[in-house]
Amino acid sequence: MSLVVVGLEPDRVPLDLLERVAVHEDDLAKVLADLAEAAEVTEVAVVSTCLRTEVYAVVDRFHDGVGHLQRFLAERAGLDLGQLADRMTVGFDDQVADHLFRVAAGLRSAVLGESEVLGQVRRSGEQAVAAQAAGPVLRELFRRAVLAGRRVRSETAISRGSLSLSHVAAELAAEQLGGTLAGRSALVVGAGEMGQGVTRALVAAGARVQVVNRTLARAEALVAEVGAAGALGLGGLRRVLPSAEVVAVCTAGGVPVLEAATLQALRPDAQTPLVVVDLGMPRAVERAVGQLPGVRLFDLEDLRARAQETLGGRRAEVASAEAVVAEELARYRAEQRARGAAPVVAALRRRVEGWQEEALARARRRHPDLTEEQWAAVATVSRDLVARLLHQPSVVLKEAAGTSRGERLVEAARALFGL
């Protein structure tokens, strides 16, 4: 059995490729079911955020399992595996925990230390468990990764400053509009996770924000929570577009929400400058929008580049964050090693203690003249001896579990004691 991760990250592939493999929440249950159908896959979970898509799995045969996950991503991208394999992140066993812990901690994010990815990792694990695609191995891996991410954010200053792509989007829009969003009219399309983040960031910057969403009740709940100006259904989008100075599109359905012809018809004189930020994955704003007079269009690639420019002092916190992650990894691995050896240790203890009880029963039949007090003393001595004999093998098996040496010791224990 092997633990593996196969995925695509923004430092290795362009945005247009990332958006083709992205897994929308509405499709996740089917994707998990399809991945779990493979004979070599026993557990699986998918982490798909705005700038990464990764599949975590427990597989019976390493090469077959990795090949299955690679083919899945290549098919979503519409490419042959040979065209994409070299760009994929592939890790196994200890590398998987190391990678996921750093993802949850924000150490592999476009915005170093971003806050949103921790919630995304947590939900990915919960959704895989709810779909009965993840079992005990992935459930514990994701739980411990989330704990590591929380510790990093509570014990270091790596999240100080621009906490997410949502905050970067607000900063970029303010820069385009004279340095401030105070009193500006802003429109957020989509009330999902990204839409919520952008709405909060724009409201915090002083903008008058209206939220447009397919489900009006969800938009109204967000407006009430953050103190935005108003909520509308998708049918109200055309009505509020002409007066907007900032439009943030945060949908994830793969269908363009904002088209150049529509926007041009609604803003024929283009007197008011307009900043459009496309945070959709896949992108939800037609590229031609950026060519309209008075319109500045930015997408996730632009936000990522901007984030790299504004890291500032948070780079100094990387060492502290890495130290926290290392502590959590060491604790997780120690527990996994102990847990992996536990069945063999328990079987060994049952076998030897069974022998002890059989030996005591035979001795009682041979020596009926001994009193109960004497037999109690004999039993106490024998049990103490068994405990002492089992202590060192148990410790060694637990410490070596999860390693090649541990596998050899387990096989030796099974052969020597008939386990």
The b/e string for 39-73 (b: 16+ C-beta within 10 A; e otherwise) is ebbbbbbbbbbbbbbbbbbbbeeeeebbbbbbbbb
In what side-by-side order are the strands of the sheet with 2-8?
A: 41-49, 52-59, 2-8, 89-92
Of 307, 329, 379, 275, the closest CA to residue 108 belongs to: 307
Distance linking the first and last C-alpha atoms of the chain: 20
* Distance between CA atoms of residues 142 and 134, nearest Å: 10
Of 122, 134, 132, the closest CA to residue 43 belongs to: 134
Angle at 228 between CA 227 and CA 233, to 5 degrees: 130
CB 112 within 8 A of CB 118: no
User: What Cα–Cα distance (Å) separates residue 320 from each residue in 113, 143, 289, 325?
Assistant: 12, 21, 43, 9
Matching residue, tokens 């429109």:
187
Out of 23, 28, 45, 50, which one is annotated catalytic? 50
Say whether 250 is catalytic.
no
| Catalytic residue IDs | 50
